[in-house]
């Protein structure tokens, strides 16, 4: 006699919670599996992140349904190919929010939130050290009456020693173009991206509302960011709190300055490079060409493309909160990406995101790509600035 199995009973209350927390965003999903087949985790693990399985288990109220949630890098590769247009990355973040409510979040993310609470940044560093990167630059405090734009440095470029070089490069480029700008110095608040990326929606909204108020009170009209993640927050999350300022990623700003004839990159930089598209600049905001145009405008630069580029580019693995967790060796997307870059014969991988730089630099070391450099677009562009005479440099520093 065939053995009978217990029937699977749908948990209506659990499903109603899922629908409510995601605002019904997952409803159009018809379980085709395109997202599962597209997910880059399939390149490094036996089992990829299955969105339809996640939704199904959440609907059933299964024990441990949330475990796969924290793998997603919100790279949007699956979302761009979804035939129903389901905003999958937003569904993932909403489900993470549900996990926080149930106290099922990974314990190490709690320290990230405490760092934000006590120090105002995910690095857990004091605000008094926020401007250490700018030693000797004599940067003015932003004034709406005196400055064209606010340079929002961001937490990572302020505190991470490697990424501080990006901030200094951007300053040199703005000064080279004669742009009047200021920063918020030690008073610069966090944008809230790190908190949002791990799914704590309410706290991220609180941070965003405070920062938007700071911008409003300062009279900010245009703000440029070092990080695509900060830019994403300002462009997509902040309009609900303030529409008084125009956010730009620094690559957009630099290309505007080059096109307008204000920034000249005339110093030859003889280098064969390949460009890695950051997910939060490319797929999230369709900013593919500006970084390439900046590189192409530099004499001596030879730009070669990796097999997967633009909308097909492979994620570095740091998005969606993965920057704040350890990824096991052998499961790092950036290893695959570094090898793909090596196949182009490039001397350097150039990107425009500090998270990507961090992952790619680690992978270049571990994959044995001797001589391969990892650089930011701002660093390459700064090499192409012709040195100014001493008097001109002194005058620029005071402005």
Q: What is the pLDDT of residue 1?
A: 45
Look-up of token digits 């939704």: 55
pTM: 0.91
Q: Do domains 108-259+388-398 and 271-383 have the same CATH topology?
A: yes
CA distance 399 to 395: 7
- Give me the half-sphere count of Cα atoms (radius 13 Å) on the Cβ side of residue 304: 15
Q: How far is CA 260 from CA 179, 247, 253, in A?
A: 12, 19, 11
Residues 6+ apart with CB under 8 A from 356: 276, 278, 316, 318, 334
Rg (CA), the chain: 22
Parse the chain into domains and list their residue ranges. Answer: 12-101, 108-259+388-398, 271-383
Distance CA 27, CA 20 (A): 11
Provide the residue-wise pLDDT of the chain in tens; the chain has 399 residues: 455 556 555 556 666 777 777 777 777 777 788 888 888 988 998 877 777 777 777 666 666 667 788 999 999 999 888 888 888 888 899 889 988 988 888 999 999 999 999 999 999 899 999 999 999 999 999 999 999 999 999 999 999 999 999 999 999 999 999 999 999 999 999 999 999 999 999 999 999 999 999 999 999 999 999 999 999 999 999 999 999 999 999 999 999 999 999 999 999 999 999 999 999 999 999 999 999 999 999 999 999 999 999 999 999 999 999 999 988 888 899 999 999 999 999 999 999 999 999 999 999 999 989 889 999 999 999 999 987 665 555 555 555
Helix 108-119 and helix 201-218: axis angle, to 10°? 20
Backbone dihedral angles phi then psi of residue 114, each to the nearest 5 degrees: -65, -35
Name the CATH topology of 12-101: Fumarate Reductase Iron-sulfur Protein; Chain B, domain 2 (1.10.1060)
* Among 131, 166, 219, 217, residue whose Cα is nearest residue 378: 166
CATH number of the structural domain 271-383: 3.40.50.10700
Instruction: Report CA-CA distances (Å) from 372 to 30, 45, 162, 233, 332.
Output: 44, 27, 16, 32, 18
From 2.60.40, 3.30.470, 3.90.1170, 3.40.50, which CATH number describes the 108-259+388-398 domain?
3.40.50
């Amino acid at each position: 006699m065939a053995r009978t199995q217990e029937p699977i009973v749908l948990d209506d209350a659990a499903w109603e919670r899922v629908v409510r927390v995601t605002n019904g965003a997952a409803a159009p999903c018809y379980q085709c599996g395109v997202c599962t087949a597209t997910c880059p985790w399939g390149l490094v693990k036996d089992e990829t992140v299955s969105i339809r399985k996640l939704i199904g288990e959440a609907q059933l109220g299964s024990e441990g349904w949330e475990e796969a949630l924290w793998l997603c890098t919100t790279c949007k590769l699956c979302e761009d190919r979804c035939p129903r247009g389901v905003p999958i990355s937003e569904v993932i973040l909403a489900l993470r929010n549900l996990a926080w409510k149930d106290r099922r979040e990974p314990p190490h993310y709690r320290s990230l939130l405490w760092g934000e609470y006590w120090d105002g940044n995910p690095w857990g560093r004091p605000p008094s050290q926020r401007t250490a990167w700018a030693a000797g630059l004599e940067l003015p405090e932003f004034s709406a009456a005196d400055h064209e734009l606010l340079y929002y440095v961001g937490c990572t470029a302020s505190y991470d020693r490697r990424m501080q070089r990006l901030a200094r490069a951007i300053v040199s480029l703005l000064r080279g173009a004669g742009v009047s700008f200021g920063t918020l110095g030690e008073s610069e608040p966090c944008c809230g991206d790190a908190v949002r990326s791990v799914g704590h929606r309410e706290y991220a909204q609180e941070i965003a509302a405070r920062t938007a108020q700071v911008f409003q009170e300062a009279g900010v009209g245009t703000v440029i960011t070092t990080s695509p993640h900060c830019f994403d927050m300002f462009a997509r999350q902040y309009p609900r709190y303030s529409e008084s300022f125009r956010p730009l990623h620094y690559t957009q700003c630099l290309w505007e300055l080059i096109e307008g004839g204000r920034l000249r990159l005339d110093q030859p930089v003889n280098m064969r490079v390949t460009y890695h598209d950051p997910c939060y600049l490319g797929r999230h905001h369709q900013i593919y060409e500006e970084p390439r145009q900046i590189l192409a405008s530099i004499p001596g630069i030879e730009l070669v493309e990796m097999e997967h580029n633009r909308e097909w580019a492979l994620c570095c693995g740091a998005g969606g909160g993965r920057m704040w967790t350890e990824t096991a060796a052998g499961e790092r997307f950036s290893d695959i990406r570094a090898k793909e870059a090596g196949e182009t014969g490039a001397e350097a991988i150039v990107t425009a995101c500090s998270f990507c730089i961090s992952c790619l630099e680690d992978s270049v070391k571990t994959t044995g790509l001797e001589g391969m450099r990892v650089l930011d677009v701002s660093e390459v562009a700064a090499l192409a600035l012709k040195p100014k005479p001493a008097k001109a440099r002194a005058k620029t520093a005071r402005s």
